[in-house]
Amino acid sequence: MIVKINVAGHISIAIGNIIPFQGDLKKLSQDNHDKLKAEILADGFNFSPHVWNHNDKYYILDGHQRISVMKKLKKDGYSFQAPDGKLSDEIPCNIVIAKDVNSAKRKVLQSVSQYGRLDADGFREFTEDIDFKLDDFDFLDFEMPDLGTESIKPEKIDLDLDTDIENAKCPHCGLDI
């Protein structure tokens, strides 16, 4: 039995030579664009897009939103710094092999499919020791887990809004308010 590997490693490609392929399959709202931009500026560009080399052109199969934001950042005067410290306009990309446009489109659909689902308990366990704001991310098909708050009776909490609001926590579960 064989599983065919259709990824041929990586190559660095000038950002201007990476061509969108999915058309209007997915949309990036301005709010989510801003969130993604903030994440990239705060933590760097961490996930290489997957591209298809067709007729000596590189088409994005996965990573359209990241490349869209990076192209805007480049237009706004940002430079890209590789791990070796060199400045460049190139992005590391993974090459995906597709025999034709139909095959490439199927690969796009594979990349946008979400077979696994976030689990509430797993999510809580995974994120309990990191500093992040849920609003900074967009989790598809994910509803906030039931934290058992239905049994909590509202009570008056005295807060000095000028000093306490940034450190406010639920007195029952410790969740940031």
User: What is the pTM for the complete model shown?
Assistant: 0.70
* pLDDT single digits (tens) 109-155: 999 887 888 888 888 888 888 887 777 676 655 555 555 545 545 55
pLDDT-based confidence at residue 2 (cuts at 50, 70, 90): very low
Is residue 70 scored above 50 in pLDDT? yes
Place of tokens 């080399």: 53
Distance CA 171, CA 177 (A): 10
- Dihedrals phi, psi of 96, to nearest 5 degrees: -110, 135
- Higher pLDDT pick, 18 / 134: 18
Is residue 91 scored above 50 in pLDDT? yes
Alpha-helical regions (H) of 50-173:
64-75, 101-112, 120-127
The structure tokens listed for 61 are 């199969």
Instruction: Look at residue 87 in the predicted model and tell me its pLDDT.
Output: 86
Instruction: Look at residue 124 in the predicted model and tell me its pLDDT.
Output: 84
Domain boundaries, the chain: 7-112, 120-167
Within the chain, strands assigned E span: 7-14, 18-19, 50-54, 57-62, 80-81, 87-88, 90-96
Fold that domain 7-112 belongs to in CATH:
3.90.1530
The structure tokens listed for 25 are 């399959």
Q: Report strand pairing: 50-54 vs 57-62.
A: antiparallel
| 19-25 contact pairs (CB < 8 A, 24+) | 19/57, 19/58, 19/59, 19/60, 20/59, 20/60, 20/64, 20/67, 20/68, 21/52, 21/59, 21/60, 21/61, 21/64, 21/104, 21/108, 22/60, 22/64, 22/108, 22/112, 25/108, 25/112
Is residue 57 scored above 70 in pLDDT? yes
